[in-house]
Amino acid sequence: EVQLVQSGGGLVQPGGSLRLSCAASGFTFNTYWMSWVRQPPGKGLEWVANIKQDGSEQYFLDSVKGRFTLSRDNARNSFYLQVNSLRVEDTAVYYCARGRGPTYFHWGQGSLVTVSS
């Protein structure tokens, strides 16, 4: 069974940082692109970033470029979203998802990131 289990998230002040993690199981992790999608409270879905199987290609939403970074550890079947210089408008539930997008068969449970002073 494919599982994506997320950790990280929490309350952070504007300008702060967090690392979100996504641990994968039930499939051959190093053969899939992986993605992050976020959802501000009460709003719609927004694609954030994705990373190629070997990490050699990464793409980001314009509004997070230079502030968010992606990495993956294929030996640990995990990938990560480092979120820096956080803004109030980054407040959202962040989901990890398997694939490059826009078709995601499998999603994580979500991690809430709240940016507030």
Partner 1 sequence: QSVLTQAPSASATPGQRVTISCSGSSSNIGSNSVTWYQQLPGTAPKLLIYSSNLRPSGVPDRFSGSKSGTAASLAISGLQSEDEAVYYCAAWDDTLNIVFGGGTKLTVL
Binding positions for partner 1, rule: CB under 8 A: 35, 37, 44-47, 50, 59, 61-62, 95, 101-105, 107-110
Question: Is the Cβ of residue 14 or residue 26 nearer to partner 1 in the bound state?
Answer: 26
Q: Tell me how far, at minimum, the Cβ of 16 lies from partner 1, in Å.
A: 25
Tell the smallest beta-carbon distance from residue 43 to partner 1 (Å). 8
Least separation in angstroms between CB 46 and partner 1: 6
Of 37 and 115, nearer to partner 1 (C-beta) is: 37
Instruction: Show the tokens assigned to 34.
Output: 């992986």
Dihedral pair phi/psi, residue 11, rounded to 5°? -95, 130
Q: Provide DSSP, 24-63.
A: EESS-GGGS-EEEEEE-TTS--EEEEEE-TTSS-EEE-GG
21 versus 35: smaller Cβ distance to partner 1: 35
| Comparison of 55 and 110: residue with beta carbon closer to partner 1 | 110
- Close Cβ partners of 49 (under 8 Å, ≥ 6 residues apart): 35, 36, 58, 59, 60, 61, 64, 68, 70, 81
Sequence letter at residue 25 = S
**CB of 44 vs partner 1, minimal distance in Å:** 4
